[in-house]
Structure 1
């Protein structure tokens, strides 16, 4: 497999951006580039607008950059990583294309570890954006035990299930899919948004005990699509369900 080149374009030289650092009020969008395009870019773009961080001028620059660079991506599937924020008081952004490595959890499932680090309940309406300042997620990630196909299960400060470290969550109870209420905290994911137009679910609060009563649990994000959950470590395990496979096939047929 040939090495995937990285492309950068930003308002300031990319060398001035601290690798994996935080912007002030910085926004992160992690997207899938597939066969030379970003199929979910319109939904990522809408979330950027919702953040109120990105100006119309910068958004137009990003649109042009994606149109120019995505077709040059040398692999059929890659990760497009967009950061938007401020350096020295000036708005800037950068875009990089990185290899998308195979993820065995797509077929074999994910083991969720309940994290002690929680997400604070916001006093204002949660915009659901993915911010570069991710100290709580980093602290929760540090709790994970050694092992493969692990992700952290995140709760809010009142013990309600919110999401995983990398994904949104859906649980099936009989014929009904349920997703946590993200109005207080958490990331309102682009793949979750896309799936809302192709399947029905309810939004309601769940604690860990309620989640363990589900017949099937899945995770979703805009890079990997749908990942089955096979275990909440120390609490419950599931076989990979037909619902997960059905949604995975839907994404393959409609997106990639």
Structure 2
């Protein structure tokens, strides 16, 4: 059982460990036509990664909170399109890093307007100067610790939609808020989940769709030479709000643009 807080009502204790130490997780869920897109994927990840952090939470409770949020907020958006955010923390209690035993988690529920989504012509991306470090124990977890992404996002200037971050091995890993897919010699490539700061639910959905459609794909490191070389047949960014977006220009290099991945993926808005 968790304590439920509606963000607009306030009331989250100042000593909450999510605020004090980033001790928690969050999910950003697209609400489209009044339905929570990829909700099963989001709740799968939230429950799984809460378990990795030893934060006790039951999926039925989360499902009930989402239902209440849809009832509470959908009337605020005539288009029925908006964004739901769930922030799960270990809760409040104690001083210092060591959590107290049997703490009661907090779930903070908030909402926001649906952002503008890029068109099929593709977006401009660049490379970040901020290196990305991934602790193997936390790989893939969408935790509240996102300072590297915050620093990198400061580089978003002008028409640059996203900057891509590299790890200490020089491999291009992910964007500040997106995962990467590349078509290379008719094979779909994406960085391995073990190298990612965030393994997105849209990434999982895309891989599922590629598998169902019988397309060949590999999880392997992406290098600058691979991305900017002549064999690159396209680069796409993915997250659960914008879906999949082609990159038309990367660091001044024009890339091929088409809608083949969007066609394969279809509309995740129909999934719940």
* TM-score for both structures, normalised by structure 2: 0.79
Find 1:116's aligned residue among 129, 134, 137.
129
Q: 1:82 to 1:92 in 2, by over 3 A?
A: same
Q: CA deviation at 1:27?
A: 0.5
Q: 1:97 to 1:31 in 2, by over 3 A?
A: same
CA distance in 1, matches of 2:207, 2:196: 19
Corresponding residue number in structure 2 for 1:241: 258
Corresponding residue number in structure 2 for 1:3: none
Q: CA deviation at 1:147?
A: 0.7
Corresponding residue number in structure 2 for 1:95: 109
User: What whole-Å deviation, never above 9, does each CA across 1:164-183 have from its counterpart, x for those lacking one?
Assistant: 11111000013211001121
CA distance in 1, matches of 2:127, 2:177: 14
User: What whole-Å deviation, never above 9, does each CA across 1:120-161 have from its counterpart, x for those lacking one?
Assistant: 142x355411111211111111233x2135211011111111
SS at match of 1:101: coil
Corresponding residue number in structure 2 for 1:67: 67
Q: 1:22 to 1:40 in 2, by over 3 A?
A: farther
Corresponding residue number in structure 2 for 1:231: 249
CA distance in 1, matches of 2:270, 2:151: 36
How do 1:1-256 residues align onto structure 2 when only pairs under 5 Å count? 9-10=4-5, 14-16=10-12, 24-51=22-49, 52=51, 53=53, 54-57=55-58, 59-72=59-72, 73-74=74-75, 75=77, 76-89=80-93, 90-103=104-117, 105-122=118-135, 124-144=136-156, 146-199=157-210, 200=215, 201-213=217-229, 214-234=232-252, 236-247=253-264, 250-251=266-267, 254-255=270-271
SS at match of 1:240: coil
User: What whole-Å deviation, never above 9, does each CA across 1:12-63 have from its counterpart, x for those lacking one?
Assistant: 9633367x95653211111111222213111111111221244234x43321
In structure 2, stretches of 5+ residues that fail to align are: 94-103
Q: Is the 8 A contact 2:37 2:270 kept in 1?
A: no
Aligned pairs, how many? 242
Q: 1:187 to 1:253 in 2, by over 3 A?
A: closer
* TM-score for both structures, normalised by structure 1: 0.83
CA distance in 1, matches of 2:13, 2:198: 24
Q: 1:190 to 1:173 in 2, by over 3 A?
A: same
SS at match of 1:152: strand
Bigger Cα displacement from structure 2, 46-55 vs 200-209:
46-55
Q: 1:208 to 1:21 in 2, by over 3 A?
A: farther
CA distance in 2, matches of 1:202, 1:71: 41
Q: Is the 8 A contact 2:209 2:264 kept in 1?
A: no
CA distance in 2, matches of 1:39, 1:96: 16
Larger Rg computed on CA atoms: 2
Q: CA deviation at 1:88?
A: 2.6
In structure 1, stretches of 5+ residues that fail to align are: 1-8
CA distance in 2, matches of 1:17, 1:106: 41
